[in-house]
Structure 1
Amino acid sequence: MIRVSGLRKTYGDFPAVVGSDFAVERGEIFGIVGPNGAGKTTTLKMLAGLVEPSGGTASVGDHDAGDAEMRRSLGFLPEESPLYEDMTPRSYLRFFADLYDVPREVARDRTEETLDRLELEHRERRLGDMSKGMKRKVAIARSLVNDPDLLIYDEPASGLDPLTTNYVLEFTRELADRGKTVVFSAHNLYHVESVCDRVVIMNRGQIVARGTVADIRAEHGSTTYHVFTTLPLPESDPAGDDHVTVVEDMTAVDSVREAVARAGGSVVDIRTEEPSLEALFLDIAGRELASDPRAEATR
């Protein structure tokens, strides 16, 4: 569905994106994460044909990302999405459906179905009088008026309350289940981990990790085992009525079991702990801090 090879974007002497390579398959939810200034939004805008690359290629289906024909099968949601505030949701969505030459009856059924799913009420209220969450739902509905195959969402849940955020995330998964391809970025890495099939982590314009969260965890993280015992051991800490020793492999778990047995106690629980995507990201970004690939790219 999406093929990116050697994608670069430079503003003057500043490389915003440095040689990105990745592919996204049909029906996949693909996350692009990283700190502010990592190149996420620039990458999304190049995929949407809104920013011209300085080098490399990006294709969507059979079209280059910049082709006008590609945009007819694209739904784009920027992080900041100002609406025509004197319009109502219905008139606003009808206006955009007309731009895509969607028949009125089809557009009406499609937008009403989407607004029903997003639980947007007050569809004849002026957009300027709506909350941010309501406006975001309208913007999401706008991205779907042309029934696109590809959706590019930049921070789709930005600034939304937890309930509205859950609606947006659930709806994103439903879109993928219907065969649509979704590429999105988010600062909240729990959101990314909860819905994405695969992710890339960007830092200073460069992809520094990629794969499923499990793949990234296996390559960059480590599993720890929390062994709870009835008696304290030299390396243990209090844990309520029990004591916990944190170790990194099953050999060490067996050593804890043997040690507490010799002391006359027992193991009451063993819990496996895996790092979250956020913890992995912080670790990877911290290790990348010592080198700056964008600085290297300008030499």
Structure 2
Amino acid sequence: MPDLHIENLNKSYGDHHVLDNMTFSVREGEIYGFVGSNGAGKSTTMRIALGVLSADSGKVSFGEHPLDDDIRRRIGYMPEERGLYGKEKIGDQLTFLGRLHGMSAEAARTNAENLLERLGLGERIGDKLDGLSLGNQQRVQLAASLVHDPDLLILDEPFSGLDPVAVEVMSQMLTERARAGVPVIFSSHQLDLVQRLCDRVGIIAKGRMVAEGSVDELRQNGPIRYSVETANPFQLPESTRIVSQEPGRIVVEADSTERDQEILHAALAAGPVHSFTRLVPHLTDLFREVVSS
């Protein structure tokens, strides 16, 4: 599958600049986490990629080709707001959506049945959407994005409102699509899921990409901090500072990982050290640091 390229997107509403040269790529077979606070520009970027909104400048391409209607038919999209018909049978809706993407009625119906079975809704295929719980409606929305075997997946808050079992099923399905070569991008406020699932993550704030990389890269590039378990105060080496202190434990921040032995030796010079550990930040902590800076 080709890569998705977002290049220098700008979008304003009057004096409000929503996107500021937004640029990133989602590679073939990659799950890309797109995270940011409410109003940061995540949904706007996705809607421009789909052609729902137009950008003031910049471009979106799939491989070497600008996104047009033919390519958009190959995209699976899951909006944050549910977009299916509440009074219609879910099997009929999914079949209809598959046919809109160029599938035969038989192939679309088969895919719909298989997806609903996989999502634990096989027995509800003849039910109307409004008869399902909100979590099950979210499962149907995922099926709608997958029914036509898309070459690209764009999902806006796909895990919102799901119970742990449904989260695990959806995670498996997205991972399988990525392993088949499909570029997958999803936005989420559930950073534990982003950290677990994503090959790369883009963090945006005020319409700009402020940090990007693999989860490990982002975490390793966070603040360099060490937990020192000791009962004895000690003289801090140069270019370090105490972040927090409690009886028996001191957290020290340094300007470089090369300071680790200096910190350890300084602590040992003052007395016994029971534990010395690098504190690699969780993605949630890193997100808070990056967005607030």
Q: Who is 1:98 aligned against? A: 99
C-alpha distance in structure 2 between counterparts of 1:13 and 1:146, whole Å = 40
C-alpha distance in structure 1 between counterparts of 2:48 and 2:180, whole Å = 25
CA deviation profile, 1:171-193 (whole Å, cap 9, x unmatched): 22222112111111111222211
Residue 225 of structure 1 contacts residue 253 of structure 1 at CA under 8 Å; is this kept in 2? no
Instruction: Return the match for 1:27 from 16, 29, 45.
Output: 29
C-alpha distance in structure 2 between counterparts of 1:29 and 1:182, whole Å = 5
CA deviation profile, 1:138-185 (whole Å, cap 9, x unmatched): 111111121111000000011223332232223222221121111111
Residue 247 of structure 1 contacts residue 253 of structure 1 at CA under 8 Å; is this kept in 2? no
C-alpha distance in structure 2 between counterparts of 1:40 and 1:54, whole Å = 16
Output the amino acid matched with 1:14. H
Instruction: Return the match for 2:175 from 173, 176, 196.
Output: 173
Structure 2, gaps ≥5 residues long: 235-244, 254-259
Instruction: Return the match for 1:127 from 108, 129, 144.
Output: 129
Structure 1, gaps ≥5 residues long: 288-299
C-alpha distance in structure 2 between counterparts of 1:168 and 1:128, whole Å = 21
1:258 CA displacement: 4.1
Q: Cα RMSD between the aligned structures?
A: 2.0
Instruction: Return the match for 1:278 from 250, 271, 284.
Output: 284
Does 1:245 find its partner at 2:254? no
User: 5 Å matches for 1:219-258?
Assistant: 219=221, 221-229=222-230, 232-234=231-233, 237-238=246-247, 243-248=248-253, 249-258=260-269
C-alpha distance in structure 2 between counterparts of 1:270 and 1:115, whole Å = 50
Q: 1:271 to 1:113 in 2, by over 3 A?
A: farther
C-alpha distance in structure 2 between counterparts of 1:79 and 1:107, whole Å = 24
Q: Who is 1:192 aligned against? A: 194
CA deviation profile, 1:220-245 (whole Å, cap 9, x unmatched): x124332335xx2237634xxxx333
CA deviation profile, 1:203-226 (whole Å, cap 9, x unmatched): 11111111112222333x124332
Q: Who is 1:292 aligned against? A: none
Residue 138 of structure 2 contacts residue 161 of structure 2 at CA under 8 Å; is this kept in 1? no
Residue 16 of structure 1 contacts residue 39 of structure 1 at CA under 8 Å; is this kept in 2? yes
Residue 30 of structure 1 contacts residue 199 of structure 1 at CA under 8 Å; is this kept in 2? yes
Output the amino acid matched with 1:280. L
Residue 151 of structure 1 contacts residue 182 of structure 1 at CA under 8 Å; is this kept in 2? yes
C-alpha distance in structure 2 between counterparts of 1:257 and 1:116, whole Å = 60
- State the secondary structure of the residue aligned to 1:168: helix
Output the amino acid matched with 1:111. A
Output the amino acid matched with 1:51. L
Output the amino acid matched with 2:37. P
Q: 1:253 to 1:167 in 2, by over 3 A?
A: farther
CA deviation profile, 1:71-128 (whole Å, cap 9, x unmatched): 1110011101132122222111111112123123322332232223222242222211
- State the secondary structure of the residue aligned to 2:146: coil
Does 1:260 find its partner at 2:271? yes
User: 5 Å matches for 1:1-12?
Assistant: 1-12=3-14
How many residues are matched? 274
Residue 63 of structure 1 contacts residue 69 of structure 1 at CA under 8 Å; is this kept in 2? no
C-alpha distance in structure 1 between counterparts of 2:265 and 2:113, whole Å = 59
Residue 227 of structure 2 contacts residue 251 of structure 2 at CA under 8 Å; is this kept in 1? yes
Residue 7 of structure 1 contacts residue 21 of structure 1 at CA under 8 Å; is this kept in 2? yes
C-alpha distance in structure 1 between counterparts of 2:105 and 2:278, whole Å = 55
- State the secondary structure of the residue aligned to 2:287: helix
TM-score (norm 1): 0.84
